[in-house]
Amino acid sequence: MPVVRPSEAVTHEIHGARFVSHAAPRTGSRELCAWRGEIPAGTKAPTHTVSREEIFHLLDGELLVTLDGRTERILAGDTVIVTPGAAFGVENPTGHTAVTWVTTTIGLEAELADGTRLSPPWAN
């Protein structure tokens, strides 16, 4: 039975946020990836377009989430479904780190507004 202990999770940092990878091919997952995101106070991540559906659940804190130009304040317990091709941005306007749990299928890619393409290691 694959069990990923917190000490085995791999942490990645990009654009001011931390991504703590728990489920990915390197830990035995064959279809899905899952990670904890830590978005520090004052962080505004760049808007990006995703190639696969993401389920973005806020565990703690509050965020401003922009999806295809529409911005909503989300609170702990809220879930945002990000569809493939959607332009997605996240901002933490508070004084506290927000914590998320995100799942997607293996192979997710993101494209930034400037055309830069990323294959995040926590989703591949």
Mind listing the pLDDT tens digit for each residue in 56-73?
999 999 999 999 999 999
118 inside domain: no
CA angle, corner 62, sides to 121 and 91, nearest 5?
A: 55
The answer as to whether 117 is a domain residue is no
Predicted confidence (pLDDT) at residue 82 exceeds the cutoff of 90: yes
Does a structural domain hold residue 121? no
Residue 114 within a domain = no
Q: Does 93 fall in a domain?
A: yes
Q: Which domain holds residue 41?
A: 17-105
Q: What is the DSSP letter of 45?
A: P
Residue 95 included in any domain: yes
Q: How much of the chain exceeds pLDDT 70, in percent?
A: 99
Q: What is the domain-level CATH number for residue 38?
A: 2.60.120.10
Question: Distance between CA atoms of 31 and 87, rounded to whole angstroms?
Answer: 23
The pLDDT score that the predictor gives to residue 1 is 66
pLDDT at 74 over 90: yes
Q: Is the pLDDT of residue 49 over 70?
A: yes
How many domains would you assign to the chain? Answer: 1
Residue 99 domain flag = yes
